[in-house]
C-alpha cells in the first residue's frame, strides 16, 4: 500500500515534470493573435438592402427581439403605408442565426466578426439605414496576426497563422 | 456546552470562491458539518414562465441558457417533445447528427464538471487541463453548428447543418488526442495519492439512497444503478449504436468522477460509430423540406445549411401533451409540454438533472468535514443556474 | 563611499540587511512568486504572467503587483480588532524574516556565532504562526477564524517532527552550531547520510509554509483565504510574502543541514563571503522552486489528513532518523 502510494507520488511528479519541460501550450494569444473562424460561424450579421423583400420573417422568428422591423424613413411616403425594414440591436442579439436561416432571399448573412464592443448603448442599435452599411470593423492598436485553429492529434489544438 | 453553543453557522456564498451562484448554509461543529442546506434560487430566470410567451422556435435558445455547459441535452429534449406533438420524425441522418453533437457535448460537459471539481479540491492543473482539453471539442462543435456553446442546432424535424467537409478527420484527431491524454490525467490527477485521499470514501451515496432520493445521471450510476435514458428509452440514433452503461459500485466522490471519465471513453466509442454508420440523406423532415422555396432548396443541398421554411416563424403545434427525456451530461432532462394549439405552449415544464441532484447536498454532507464540502459539491457536477432555471 | 561600503560589508550589517537578510529575501519574493506562477502555467499548458516586460516572459510581474498592493486602499473593516489587525502583518513578516540573522554565510562570515545557532533559527521560526492565529482572531470573520485555527493545528503537527529531524542531524554532526554542521559536510552531504531526516524535513517545511498539498490554512475553495480573508492592499502583500520568506529561511537551514551549505568551495575562497553565499543561495533556491512546482501537481489535503501525516507518518520517521544518526555516529566511532 505504502509502496504503491510512493509510486503514484513519483508518477504524478514525473508527469508534472514532463509537462513542465514540454513545449505544449493551448493558449490563443488574444489579442496579439485573432482567431479566424471556420465558414458558417455565427457572428454579426450583414444586411443586403436590395434583395430584402421586407417580409418580416426575420423579426418574427428572432427569439431575443433583437431583430425588429423599423419604419424606413428613406422609402416611406407621407400618407401611405410605411415601408418597414429590419434592423438589429446588438445588445439583445444572441447570435442564434435563426433570422439568417429563415430569410427567404438570403438578404441576411453571417460575418465572422463577433466583437460586439461599443462605446455607447445607442451605437449598438442598427436601424435599417445603418444596418446596410455593414458591421463595424474591429479596431486594433496594432494589427494582430490572424490565426486558425488546427486540430491536432498530439497537441489537441494549434493556432496557425493564416496569410 | 450544549450542542447549539458549539455549533458555528457559516454562510458559504453566494460570494465565495467556490460556492457558485448559491448560498450554502453550513452548521459546523469543529471540523464536522452538522447540517448543510443549499439556498437555491439566486439565478432563477423563470424559463418555464417565459416559455409561455415565446413561440415554439424561440424557446430553443431559451432552454439552452440555463445549462450552458450542456446545451444539447436541453435542446434535444425540448425539440423531441415538440416533435411528438407535431407528429413528425427527423430523417435518419439528422438522428445521427443529433447523437454526434450530443456526445461531443457530453464529453465537454464532463470535462467542465471535472475541471471545476479539480480546482475545488485544490488542483489547479486538473482545472486548466480539463478546460484546455474542452477547447478542441468546442472547436469541433463550433465547426458543425457555428457557435461555441449555445448551438441551437436541433430544430423540429431535423438539424440545421450537415457535416462540414473533412469533419470526420478532425473528429478522429480529437478523439485520438483525448485517448492519448487520458493516461496523463490518471498519473497526475486521478491516481495522485492526494486526490485519492480527498475523494475516496467521501460523500458516499448508497444504492438504496440514490434510488430513494431520485438522483440522476452519473451520480446515480456511481452508486451502482445502471440507469441511463439512452438505454432505458432510446432516442435519436442510440438504438442502433453499441455502448455500455457505465457504473461504479463505491458511490463516493471518486466513483462519481470515475463514471465521468469512463463515460468520456464511452462517448469516444459512440462518436466513432456514429461517423462510421451515418446514412446519407436529407437532414430535415420532408414535410418542411417541401416548404422551402425551390431555389433555396437547391442552395440547401449545395451548402448543407438548411433554410427554415416560413412556417417556422410562427410554428403552430397541435393541442395535446408530450413528454420527452434525454440523458444529458449531468443526467436526465425531462420536458413536458402542454399545448393548446396556439403559437406558444400553454405550459412547459423543464426538469433538469441539477434540480434533482441538489437534494444530495444535505444528504451527503452530514458528518463530513468542512473541507469535504467543496469535494462533494464538485463531485456532483451541480450547476446552480441549471437547477434554478 | 568607501566607508559606507565597508560598513555594509561588516557581517553584522550585511547578514540582516543584504544576505540572507531583507534585501535578498525581498528580491527572492519578487522572483519566486512569478516563477511559481510560470511553472504552474507551463504544466497547465498555458503561459502565465507575460505582459509585464514581455521579452523576459513577464519577469517583473510581481513589481507591478507590489505597486498595486502599495497603492490599493487597505480596507479595515469596522468590526475588526484594529490594533491587532494592523500590527500582525508587519509582525508576521518581521518574525518570518528574523531567523536569517543567525544563518551563517560562510565559515567565517556570520552576524554572530553561537553554539546553539540551529536551535535559535528553529525557535525563531516558530514565532510567525502565532501571528497568523492572532490574525484569524482579530479579523472577526468566521472564515478567518477557521483559517487561524487550522494554522494552529498544522503547527502542532509539523513542529515536533520537523525539529526532531533537524536535531537528528545535530546528533550526527555532534554540534548545534550551523557553521560547524556545514563544515562537517566537506566530504559527504547530510542528505546521503540520513535521507530519512532529509525527506521528513523537506515535507514538513512545505507543510509549515502552506505549500501544496498542505495549503490548508488558506484553502481558497473552502475558507476563501483563511486568516487573510479580510486583508487588502499592502497589508495583504505582507502576509502573502511572509510564508515565502519563511520557506526561504527554512530552505537555507535545510541547505546547511543536508546539502552541505556552502560546500564545496576551494579553501582560499572561504574568507570571501561572495562565492559561499551564492552557492548557499542557489541550493536554497532550488528547494524553494521544488516547493513552487508542487502547486502544479497536487491538490490539497484535508486538515485531518495533514495532521495524520504529521503525527502518524512523519513523527515515527523523524524518530527513526534520530536512530539512524545514532547508529551512524556509533559506526563512525563517535564524534
Ligand atoms: S441572430 Fe438570433 S437573436 Fe440575433 S437577430 Fe438573428 S434571430 Fe435575433
Ligand atoms: S431580411 Fe430577409 S427575412 Fe428579413 S425582411 Fe428582409 S427578406 Fe424578410
Prior bond to B14 cis, omega within 30?
Answer: yes
Q: Closest residue of B to A5, CA-based?
A: B193
* Class for the domain spanning A45-131: alpha beta
Per-residue model confidence as pLDDT tens digits over A103-136: 888 888 888 888 888 888 888 888 888 888 888 8
Q: Taking residues B355-371, what's their average pLDDT? A: 87
Q: Residues for chain A: how many in total?
A: 163
Please name every residue paired with A157 in a beta bridge, in sequence order, or none if there are none: A151
Per-residue model confidence as pLDDT tens digits over C171-207: 888 888 888 888 777 778 878 888 888 888 888 888 8
Q: Taking residues C215-235, what's their average pLDDT? A: 82
Please state, in angstroms and rounded to a whole number, the distance separating the CA atoms of residues B388 and B384.
Answer: 6
DSSP string, A127-162: -HHHHTT-PPPP--SSPPEEEEEEEETTTEEEEEE-
- B107 pLDDT band, cuts 50/70/90, is very high
Please state, in angstroms and rounded to a whole number, the distance separating the CA atoms of residues C168 and C158.
Answer: 15
- C103 pLDDT band, cuts 50/70/90, is confident
- B4 pLDDT band, cuts 50/70/90, is low
Question: Biggest alpha carbon distance in chain A?
Answer: 91
Phi-psi region of A156 (alpha: psi -120 to 50; beta: other; left: phi over 0): left
DSSP string, B68-101: GGGHHHHHHHHHHHHHHHHT----HHHHHHHHHH
Please name every residue paired with A148 in a beta bridge, in sequence order, or none if there are none: A36, A160
Q: Residues for chain C: how many in total?
A: 335
| Alpha helix positions (H), chain B | 3-6, 47-51, 59-64, 71-86, 92-120, 124-145, 167-185, 193-199, 207-212, 218-221, 229-232, 253-277, 286-291, 294-303, 353-357, 359-365, 372-379, 384-388
Q: First vs last Cα of chain B: how many Å apart?
A: 43
Strand arrangement, sheet containing A145-152: A33-36, A145-152, A156-161
Three-state DSSP at B338 gives strand
- Residue written as cell 462605446? A119
Q: Taking residues B195-204, what's their average pLDDT? A: 88
C297–A20 CB contact, under 8 Å = no
Question: Biggest alpha carbon distance in chain B?
Answer: 83
Q: What is the mean pLDDT of chain B?
A: 87
Work out the angle at residue B322's Cα, subtended by the Cα atoms of residues B319 and B326, and round it to the nearest 5 degrees: 150
Q: Which three cell numbers stand for residue A87?
A: 434592423
Per-residue model confidence as pLDDT tens digits over B20-52: 788 888 888 888 888 888 888 888 888 888 888
Q: What is the mean pLDDT of chain A?
A: 85
Per-residue model confidence as pLDDT tens digits over A44-78: 888 888 888 888 888 888 988 888 888 877 777 77
Q: Which three cell numbers stand for residue C239?
A: 502576509
β-pair type (A145-152, A33-36): parallel
Q: Is the pLDDT of residue B194 over 50?
A: yes
- B110 pLDDT band, cuts 50/70/90, is very high
Please state, in angstroms and rounded to a whole number, the distance separating the CA atoms of residues B88 and B289.
Answer: 12
- Residue written as cell 448508497? B206
| Optimal mutation site among A5, A20, A92, A96, interface B, most CBs of chain B within 10 A | A96
Q: Tell me, what's the pLDDT at B338?
A: 92
The C-alpha R_g of chain B, in whole angstroms, comes to: 22
Q: Give the chains touching A; criterion: ≥3 Cβ pairs < 8 Å.
A: B, C
Per-residue model confidence as pLDDT tens digits over B114-165: 998 998 888 888 999 999 889 899 989 988 888 888 888 998 888 888 888 8
- C4 pLDDT band, cuts 50/70/90, is confident
Lowest mean pLDDT among B14-18, B235-239, B260-264, C285-289: B14-18
- Residue written as cell 553561537? C114
HSE-CB for B357 with a 13 A CA cutoff: 27
Residue C228 main-chain phi, psi, to 5 deg = -95, 5
CA-based nearest residue to C113, from C12, C256, C248: C12
Q: Is the pLDDT of residue C334 over 60?
A: no
Q: Which residue has the higher pLDDT, C222 or A103?
A: A103
List C-alpha distances in Å: B244 to B77, B263, C170, C194, C281: 21, 9, 61, 53, 57
Please state, in angstroms and rounded to a whole number, the distance separating the CA atoms of residues B7 and B36.
Answer: 12
Q: Tell me, what's the pLDDT at B336?
A: 92
Q: Tell me, what's the pLDDT at B2?
A: 62
- C266 pLDDT band, cuts 50/70/90, is low
With beta carbons less than 8 A apart as the criterion, state whether B8 and C142 touch: yes
C46–A20 CB contact, under 8 Å = no
**Interface residue ranges in chain A relative to chain B, Cβ cutoff 8 Å:** 5, 8-9, 11-12, 14-16, 18-19, 26, 37-42, 57, 60-64, 94-98, 101-104, 106, 110, 149, 151-157
CA-based nearest residue to B72, from B154, B137, B132: B154
Please name every residue paired with B284 in a beta bridge, in sequence order, or none if there are none: B158
With beta carbons less than 8 A apart as the criterion, state whether A145 and A161 touch: yes
Q: Is the pLDDT of residue A141 over 60?
A: yes
Q: Taking residues C126-146, what's their average pLDDT? A: 86
| Optimal mutation site among C45, C51, C199, C213, interface A, most CBs of chain A within 10 A | C45
Q: Tell me, what's the pLDDT at C160?
A: 87
Contacts of C298 in chain B (CB under 8 A): 122-123, 192, 194
Domains in chain B, ordered, with CATH?
Answer: 3-388 (1.10.645.10)
Please state, in angstroms and rounded to a whole number, the distance separating the CA atoms of residues C99 and C112.
Answer: 12
Contacts of C304 in chain B (CB under 8 A): 31, 369
Contacts of C293 in chain A (CB under 8 A): 16-17, 20
| Residues B30, B31, B33, B39, CA torsion sign | positive
Please name every residue paired with A89 in a beta bridge, in sequence order, or none if there are none: A125
Lowest mean pLDDT among A33-37, B301-305, C35-39, C105-109: C105-109
Q: Is the pLDDT of residue C80 over 50?
A: yes
CA-based nearest residue to B195, from A61, A15, C180: A15
Q: Tell me, what's the pLDDT at B1?
A: 56
Q: Tell me, what's the pLDDT at B111?
A: 92
Please name every residue paired with B69 in a beta bridge, in sequence order, or none if there are none: none
Q: Taking residues C14-35, what's their average pLDDT? A: 81
Contacts of C217 in chain B (CB under 8 A): none
Q: Is the pLDDT of residue A95 over 50?
A: yes
| Residues C282, C284, C287, C288, CA torsion sign | negative
- C335 pLDDT band, cuts 50/70/90, is very low
Per-residue model confidence as pLDDT tens digits over B79-103: 999 998 888 889 998 899 999 999 9
- Rounded distance from Cα C56 to ligand 2 centre (Å): 54
Lowest mean pLDDT among B254-263, C63-72, C151-160, C263-272: C263-272
Torsion, Cα of C248, C38, C235, C63 (10° steps): 100
Q: Tell me, what's the pLDDT at A122?
A: 86
Residue B28 main-chain phi, psi, to 5 deg = -120, 145
Q: First vs last Cα of chain A: how many Å apart?
A: 57
Q: Tell me, what's the pLDDT at A21?
A: 86
Q: Which residues line ligand 1 (CB under 6 A)?
A: A 61-64, 66-67, 88, 93-99
Amino acid at each position: 500500500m505504502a509502496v504503491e502510494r510512493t509510486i503514484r507520488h513519483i508518477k504524478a511528479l514525473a508527469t508534472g515534470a514532463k509537462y513542465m519541460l514540454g513545449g505544449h501550450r493551448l493558449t490563443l494569444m488574444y489579442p496579439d493573435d485573432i482567431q479566424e473562424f471556420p465558414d458558417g460561424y455565427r457572428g454579426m450579421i450583414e444586411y443586403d438592402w436590395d434583395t430584402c423583400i421586407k417580409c418580416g420573417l426575420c423579426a418574427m422568428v428572432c427569439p431575443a427581439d433583437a431583430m425588429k422591423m423599423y419604419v424606413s424613413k428613406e422609402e416611406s411616403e407621407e400618407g401611405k403605408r410605411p415601408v418597414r425594414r429590419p434592423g438589429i440591436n446588438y445588445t439583445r442579439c444572441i447570435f442564434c442565426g435563426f433570422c439568417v436561416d429563415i430569410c427567404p432571399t438570403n438578404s441576411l448573412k453571417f460575418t465572422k466578426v463577433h466583437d460586439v464592443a461599443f462605446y455607447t448603448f445607442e451605437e449598438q442599435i442598427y436601424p435599417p439605414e445603418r444596418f446596410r452599411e455593414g458591421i463595424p470593423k474591429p479596431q486594433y492598436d496594432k494589427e494582430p496576426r490572424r490565426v486558425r485553429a488546427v486540430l491536432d492529434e498530439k497537441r489537441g489544438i494549434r493556432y496557425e497563422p493564416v496569410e | 456546552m450544549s450542542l447549539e453553543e458549539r455549533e458555528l453557522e457559516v454562510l458559504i456564498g453566494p460570494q465565495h470562491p467556490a460556492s457558485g451562484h448559491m448560498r450554502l448554509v453550513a452548521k459546523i461543529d469543529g471540523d464536522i458539518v452538522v447540517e448543510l442546506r443549499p439556498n437555491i434560487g439566486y439565478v432563477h430566470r423563470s424559463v418555464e414562465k417565459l416559455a409561455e410567451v415565446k413561440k415554439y422556435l424561440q424557446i430553443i435558445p431559451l432552454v439552452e441558457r440555463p445549462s450552458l455547459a450542456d446545451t444539447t441535452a436541453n435542446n434535444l429534449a425540448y425539440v423531441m417533445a415538440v416533435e411528438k406533438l407535431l407528429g413528425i420524425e427527423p430523417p435518419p441522418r439528422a438522428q445521427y447528427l443529433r447523437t454526434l453533437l450530443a456526445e461531443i457535448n457530453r464529453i465537454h460537459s464532463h470535462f467542465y464538471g471535472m475541471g471545476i471539481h479539480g480546482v475545488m479540491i485544490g488542483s489547479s492543473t486538473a482545472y486548466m487541463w480539463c478546460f484546455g482539453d474542452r477547447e478542441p471539442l468546442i472547436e469541433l462543435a463550433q465547426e458543425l453548428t457555428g457557435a461555441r456553446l449555445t448551438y441551437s442546432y436541433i430544430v423540429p424535424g431535423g438539424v440545421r447543418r450537415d457535416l462540414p467537409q473533412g469533419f470526420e478527420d478532425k473528429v478522429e484527431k480529437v478523439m485520438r488526442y483525448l485517448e492519448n491524454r487520458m493516461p496523463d490525467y490518471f498519473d497526475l490527477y486521478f491516481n495522485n495519492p492526494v486526490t485519492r485521499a480527498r475523494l475516496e470514501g467521501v460523500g458516499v451515496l448508497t444504492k438504496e439512497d440514490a434510488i430513494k432520493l431520485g438522483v440522476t445521471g452519473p451520480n446515480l450510476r456511481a452508486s451502482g444503478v445502471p440507469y441511463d435514458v439512452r438505454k432505458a428509452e432510446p432516442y435519436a440514433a442510440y438504438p442502433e449504436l453499441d455502448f455500455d452503461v457505465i457504473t461504479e459500485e463505491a458511490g463516493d466522490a471518486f466513483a462519481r468522477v470515475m463514471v465521468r471519465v469512463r463515460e468520456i471513453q464511452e462517448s469516444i466509442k459512440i462518436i466513432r460509430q456514429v461517423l462510421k454508420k451515418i446514412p446519407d440523406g436529407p437532414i430535415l423532415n420532408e414535410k418542411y423540406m417541401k416548404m422551402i422555396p425551390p431555389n433555396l432548396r437547391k442552395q440547401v443541398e449545395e451548402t448543407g445549411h438548411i433554410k427554415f421554411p416560413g412556417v417556422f416563424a410562427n410554428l403552430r403545434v397541435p393541442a395535446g401533451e408530450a413528454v420527452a427525456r434525454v440523458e444529458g451530461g449531468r443526467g436526465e432532462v425531462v420536458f413536458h409540454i402542454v399545448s393548446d394549439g396556439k403559437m406558444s405552449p400553454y405550459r412547459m415544464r423543464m426538469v433538469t438533472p441539477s434540480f434533482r441532484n441538489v437534494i444530495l447536498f444535505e444528504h451527503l454532507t452530514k458528518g463530513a468535514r468542512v473541507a469535504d464540502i467543496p469535494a462533494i459539491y464538485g463531485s456532483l457536477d451541480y450547476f446552480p443556474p441549471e437547477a434554478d432555471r | 563611499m568607501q566607508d559606507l561600503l565597508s560598513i555594509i560589508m561588516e557581517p553584522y550589517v550585511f547578514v540582516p540587511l543584504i544576505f540572507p537578510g531583507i534585501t535578498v529575501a525581498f528580491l527572492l519574493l519578487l522572483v519566486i512568486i512569478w516563477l511559481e506562477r510560470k511553472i504552474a502555467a507551463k504544466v497547465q499548458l498555458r503561459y502565465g504572467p507575460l505582459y509585464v516586460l514581455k521579452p523576459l516572459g513577464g519577469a517583473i510581474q510581481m513589481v507591478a503587483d507590489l505597486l498595486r498592493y502599495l497603492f490599493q486602499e487597505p480596507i479595515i473593516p469596522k468590526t475588526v480588532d484594529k490594533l491587532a489587525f494592523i500590527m500582525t502583518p508587519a509582525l508576521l513578516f518581521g518574525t518570518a524574516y528574523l531567523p536569517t540573522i543567525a544563518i551563517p554565510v560562510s565559515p567565517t562570515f556570520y552576524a554572530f556565532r553561537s553554539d546553539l545557532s540551529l536551535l535559535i533559527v528553529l525557535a525563531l521560526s516558530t514565532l510567525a504562526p502565532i501571528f497568523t492565529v492572532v490574525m484569524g482572531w482579530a479579523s472577526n470573520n468566521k472564515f478567518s477564524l477557521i483559517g487561524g485555527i487550522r494554522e494552529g493545528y498544522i503547527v502542532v503537527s509539523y513542529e515536533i517532527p520537523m525539529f526532531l529531524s533537524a536535531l537528528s542531524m545535530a546528533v550526527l554532526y555532534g554540534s548545534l552550531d550551523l557553521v560547524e554542521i556545514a563544515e562537517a559536510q566537506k566530504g559527504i552531504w547530510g542528505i546521503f547520510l540520513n535521507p530519512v531526516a532529509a525527506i521528513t524535513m523537506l515535507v514538513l517545511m512545505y507543510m509549515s509554509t502552506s505549500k501544496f498539498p498542505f495549503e490548508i490554512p488558506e484553502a481558497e475553495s473552502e475558507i476563501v483565504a483563511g486568516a487573510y480573508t479580510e486583508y487588502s492592499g499592502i497589508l495583504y502583500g505582507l502576509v502573502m510574502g511572509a510564508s515565502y520568506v519563511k520557506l526561504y529561511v527554512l530552505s537555507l537551514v535545510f541547505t546547511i543541514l543536508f546539502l552541505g551549505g556552502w560546500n564545496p568551495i576551494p579553501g582560499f575562497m572561504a574568507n570571501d563571503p561572495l562565492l559561499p553565499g551564492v552557492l548557499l543561495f542557489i541550493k536554497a533556491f532550488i528547494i524553494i522552486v521544488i516547493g513552487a512546482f508542487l502547486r502544479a501537481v497536487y491538490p490539497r489535503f484535508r486538515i485531518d489528513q495533514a495532521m495524520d501525516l504529521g503525527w502518524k507518518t512523519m513523527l515515527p520517521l523523524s524518530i527513526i532518523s534520530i536512530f539512524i544518526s545514532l547508529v551512524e555516529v556509533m559506526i563512525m566511532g563517535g564524534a
